[in-house]
Structure 1
Amino acid sequence: MPMNLIALLMLALSQPATAQATPLTETQSRDLTCVAVLAIIASEQERGVASALDYPLLIERGATYAGLVGERIMSETGRSREEVRQEIVAAVAAQQAKGGNGAAADEVFETEMAQCLPLLDIAIPPRPKPDLNQCAGMLQLAYEEVHSREGLSKTAQDLKTLAAVLDSRARDKMRAEGLSGQESDILLTQERETMLADARQQEALGQGSDLDYDHCFTLAAPEDKGRKYEH
């Protein structure tokens, strides 16, 4: 059982258990099941399990969703945080037992995710996904920032490699669309300048980017590793 991730998703323990909790409604049970399924998939994503990486990255949004569901169930049923935590742990165990291992597990979780992903998107809409040109600019700027701070560290080298991959793919795409090398240079330079200006504005406001930065790593992955749930 991925207890390390469950710990991130669980609500902090602070209230004593109540005497007898009312039965969960169908909607509440469904939402707890989704918390469990998202937790399992997010844990597998952390471990690099290929089938789990077919889905959007879930660690951050999954944890937020778990908190929202837990707070709502406490409010609606009078359950304590500890009781809700135990319900989620039980739901995770039930899903793992239901799924088993191998292809059968993938099929079970695919069915569950088809129901849970839309609920997650409604509760916590995903950030807009940057396009290839934006990602090329974002990763280049990230490399330059890390390099200025750390020199050619491993992180800087990795970012430099990913930025080069995205830059090459962006140029290939623009070439296929009939743009010249010079036109591609201009567009990529403009994109980097726009991304840098936006980043400075967000920083001045004490905010981060509203784009899905993780999507850039998906675009930089080997091209034969498609994503079933790109949206």
Structure 2
Amino acid sequence: MEQANKVPEESAHPGSLMAKRGVWVSLAFVVMWSSGGIFVELGLDEARPFNFLALRLLLSTVIMWLICFRLRPAFPTQWVEWRDILITGFFLQVGYQIFFFLALAYEVFPGLLAIILGAHPILTAVFAKEETNKNQWLGLLLGIQGLVLVVGDSIFIGTISVVGIGSALLSLASITIGTIWQKRISLSLPANMALQYTVSSILLSFWHSCLNRMR
């Protein structure tokens, strides 16, 4: 009788279980996000930036549409929603990733690129007019100071090209603008990402085609 009434530990503390899962999910996200530059740099040894990015977007598009077919989320019905998805996809997927790949292609080290992109959360909070405290402002100023010292020294001694650093800064600007604009979208995540990847694939193909014609 006592054994039958015994409640499993996980069921008795659902909040604790969810907290543990949240920690592991957060750690997995940090590992994948922070290691992205390393794996992209390895991939660029075997492929051109546009080809590598096109393959990545294609695979992401297919995966997200398979998820949508399984979950059947709601899709946008108004032009304003489509406009926001188009703009967000352009900055967050196309602009950010193109300049990210180009920065690595022009020999910006993954660690330095991560430092530059590390300013993204604070810049987003500032330009989105979110509440920021003194510690965040202090962190931003210290981060910018360190960034200027590292980047300036690297350019001065010739270890990094101006084009590479410019691409890294444009990548930072793109992800910041895209993140701020994405706050306007209330669509479910699977539908939002599927449409963003689809639009981004089309825009990237168009961009690549225009560049080839200009050569």
- Which structure has more relative contact order (CA 8 Å, sep 6+)? It is 2
Structure with more of its chain in helix, by fraction = 2
TM over 0.5, shorter chain: no
